[in-house]
Amino acid sequence: MDATYSDALVFFGATGDLAYKQIFPALQALVQRHNLTIPVVGVAKAGFNLDQLKARARDSITTHGSLNEAAFAKLSALLQYVDGDYRDPATFTQLRQVLGNAQRPLHYLAIQPSMFASVVEGLAKSGSAKNARVVVEKPFGRDLASARTLHAILDEFFPEDAIFRIDHFLGKEPVQNILYTRFANRFLEPLWNRTHVRSVQVTMAENFGVQGRGRFYEEAGAVRDVIQNHLFQVLACLAMDPPTGEQSDAIRDEKARILKAVRPLTPQDIVRGQFKGYKQQEGVAPNSHVETYAAIRLFIDTWRWAGVPFYIRAGKTMPITATEVNVTFKRPPFEVFDEEDHGSPNRLRLRLSPEVVIGLCMRVKRPGEQMDGEDVELIAKHQRADEMAPYERLLADALRGDHSLFAREDQIEAQWRIVDPVLGDVTPVHEYEQNTWGPPEAASLMQAPDGWLNPQSPTIPA
């Protein structure tokens, strides 16, 4: 085994919802496709024993994955279990005993951030943090101050190069495809700047509500839940300069640089909305001002992007579920053909989910004698059933010590710095009808001649 590869995987929260929906299916995939052979230790306070954990793992993979009996048998043989309170030193003493000769464990904290301090301190005092790596789940704080507090807790016991902040969005194939499409195709780069780009839009639409997670959403809201993390990472992929060097930090360096150049939001740069019926959801306050929709307008103060507006929005109970990027280019400097309607400007459309689509919107001549045209879209569509799931990809990278797809602390702080001025009730919440594209007030963010580009479904005929 590679000397840099972790020699044990410990995941706290082994009986929790995240483990049930994501981690166990990812672990089977790691066995099946990555030849995982190291001990896998689940830790929780649930009164479980090892057989019960194995039964839950089987049920998890059957429900949220695809059970492979041979791979599951191998995973089952690797599984071990520690049942105990995260505040009890005895739990970590037992864990150290179960780890045996393991010297480079990877500790995955699939638990509430409020428990991070207790767990990392317990790991340190028991000797399990030495030469170890730690994976932590978002949210990485609730604002800039709490993010810095969280970093201080982790930094007390782990060096930065041993900390892996997991945002599953970064493990998605289509998000990685943004970087690949940009930097593997030379024809895009000369156009990818303020001289040619008029505006950029990112939309994350969901056609469902809070799905019984009202209490959680009351603590989060759209800005904290998906914009500050997921969609800012998409923004970074769209706006960053090409990375230099092959080391894993090269991409993160460029992402951090571009995020630090984004202006902090002002109340004039955001419109918040709440769908009708949200206040009737279980766990939601009857006078709630939490946003289920948010639209923002950003500017990046670099030579490449100065003056180009970036529009980002996310909302629930939208007409469809889709995440899409639209890069709109400026019109030609002179209209050669005398047409009444010059059509739409050129546009590059990147559909990130539920399918992967790249569309190039352009103007072509209509058949006939007249020199007039029509708008068409050249489409490439790609979707493979065997694509690697985000948690499989990210856990495999963490075990190898590859940071490329993990957020770094300076990125996290830069992201919170952008939204910090508009968190909470700084701006009003506008009610909107379900199955619409959000409150009409969001149109006020647009600079002429831009307007919101709503994802269509289906994107192309099946």
Cα–Cα distance for residue pair 275/164, rounded to 1 Å:
35
Cα–Cα distance for residue pair 134/163, rounded to 1 Å:
5
Active site residue: 107, 230, 289, 430, which one?
230
Q: Is 50 left (phi over 0), alpha (psi -120 to 50) or beta?
A: alpha
CB-CB contact of 292 with 210 (8 Å) = yes
Beta strands per DSSP E along 104-187: 105-109, 133-137, 163-166
**Residue 25, CB-side half-sphere exposure with 13 Å CA sphere:** 19
Annotated catalytic, 151?
Answer: no
Amino acid at 279: K
User: Which H or E run contains 250?
Assistant: helix 249-260
Cα–Cα distance for residue pair 408/405, rounded to 1 Å:
9
Phi, psi at 390, each rounded to 5°: -55, -45
Specify the pairing of strand 347-353 against strand 356-365: antiparallel
At 139, is the secondary structure helix, strand, or coil?
coil
Cα–Cα distance for residue pair 364/371, rounded to 1 Å:
10
CB-CB contact of 318 with 442 (8 Å) = no
CA dihedral (442, 445, 449, 454) in degrees, to 10, reads -40
Cα–Cα distance for residue pair 398/128, rounded to 1 Å:
17
**Residue 252, CB-side half-sphere exposure with 13 Å CA sphere:** 18
Cα–Cα distance for residue pair 230/270, rounded to 1 Å:
17
Catalytically annotated residues? 230
